[in-house]
Each structure stands twice: as structure tokens, then as C-alpha cells.
Amino acid sequence: MMQVYVRDSQAEANDLAAHLVVEAVRSGARVLGLATGQTMIGVYAALVAQVRADRIATERWTTFNLDEYVGIGPDHPGSFHHFMTTHLFRPLGLGPQQSHLLNGLAPDLEAECNRFERLVMASPPDVQILGIGQNGHIGFNEPGTPWDSGTHRVTLTAATIAQNAPDFPGSMPREALTMGIGTILMARAIIVVATGAAKAPAVYRAVREEPSLEVPASALRLHPDVRYVLDTAAAERLFSDPRWDRAASVVEID
């Protein structure tokens, strides 16, 4: 089952996403799947604030990140590892033994993907946080990726490079390692956060159109526990659907 939450502003959406993670932790979640991207900056700021305010213990958390660029390491300011250190690990004091990321500098990238896949399969996330690309990608699973895919190496599409390049210090890597769609679907619960008008078409396709390989996020329709957290801009196309109850704070979709 899928639930779609719409909030009036990006800040409120971020707060709700953080709240849902904290609630999951309060109910026993210890393994968190994490995403990167501009959307996550506000989500992690809200999460750090709530964890601190509620004095939530993080010592027993284990985290897995979705993806990493090939050819750069944790110290590179464009790496997802660096992003996580800045926005979540350092503020919450999460140590390297708690936080698992793919190593984009591994000498054997296929072996690195297999190592990571085994690690995730041994204790899949209780909650996986996801963003969504404008082309509907999740992690770096681009359109056409099989839904049973495990962790693998990808060549980024021109669209994704164009989308991420403005945030990347220096020249953008052309390849990445990513959890597969099959890996992502192993999480017990999934929270997708999308804010801003640029995400409205991808959100509509993922939530309302027939699931298709062309929209990787539509694979989430196979999962029994998915929540979308949106601001009104990202939900705009959903609102244009006459079946949509705009006044509802949460809409359930079978």
C-alpha cells in the first residue's frame, strides 16, 4: 500500500519526513537506508534537529547509502560520502563502523558491488529514504533498469549528469555504483521525499501511471509500505487528476 502526504511548503515536508523516520526509530528501526541530493539537505537538517530535541539515541543505528560516484573518494567534496559526513554523520556523531557506503575508488568495482549487496541483504533497511530524479530514477537506477537488479555499476544518463552537474564541484563523474531496484525493494518501509515543481511530472508518473521500466520509481508500487512526502509544488500534477482529494492530508493508494 502506498500513502501520499502533501504539505504546504518544503520545510513542512522536510519536517514530516524527519518525523516519520524518528517514529520508525521509536518503533524499533535500527537500520536506515539513506539517500543524497539537494532534497535531502533539508530532510537531514530536520532529522538532526528532531533527533537532538528528542534525545534519540543513535549509537545502535546502522546506515546504508544508496549510491556513490565512481572514481572519487570520501574526501572529494562532490562525493556522496562527503555529503553524508557533512549533513548527517558528523552532526549526529555516527561513526564509520555504523555507516556503510559504496567505495567509488575500489580497485575491483564489481567485487565492491557484490560486497555491498551481501551486506545490505544480511540486514536490509528497516526504513529506506529515497529522493526521485526528474526522469523518475531512484538511487542511480536509470530508466530501463530491471526491477530485480542488485547493486551494480552504471553509466549515468545525459539527463542525470545535466541535473547533478550544477551541484558538483569540478567535472562530473560519468559512472556510479548504486543499489539496484531489487535491493531497494528489500527495505521494510520506504519514504520518498520530493519537493519543487521540477519533480511534479516524475511523481505523477510514479504514483498514478501504469508502472513501467521507463519510470524506475514506479517499481515502488510493488512494495507493501511506501510513503511519499511531497510539497504542493511536487504534488501539482496529482492535484490536476480529478480523482485526487486535494483536501486530504494523506491519500492512500492500493
Q: Which residues are catalytic?
A: 67, 135, 137, 142
Residue 120 CB partners (closer than 8 Å, separation 6+) = 64, 100, 151, 179, 183, 186
CB-CB contact of 202 with 215 (8 Å):
yes
Residues in the chain: 254
* Residue 28 or 166 having the CB closest to ligand GLP: 166
183: contact with ligand GLP by CB under 6 A: no
Site map 44..83 versus ligand GLP, x via CB under 6 A = ----------------------xx----------------
State residue 171 phi and psi, 5-degree precision: -85, 135
128: contact with ligand GLP by CB under 6 A: no
Q: In the complex, what is the shortest distance from the CB of residue 112 to ligand GLP, in angstroms, rounded to a whole number?
A: 17
Q: In the complex, what is the shortest distance from the CB of residue 40 to ligand GLP, in angstroms, rounded to a whole number?
A: 6
Alpha carbon distance 238, 234 (integer Å) = 9
CB-CB contact of 6 with 230 (8 Å):
yes
139: contact with ligand GLP by CB under 6 A: yes
Of residues 37, 27, 26, the one with CA closest to residue 14: 37
Site map 141..160 versus ligand GLP, x via CB under 6 A = -------------------x
Grid cell 498514478 is found at 208
Q: Give the footprint of ligand GLP on this chain (CB under 6 A).
A: 35-39, 66-67, 131-133, 139-140, 160, 164
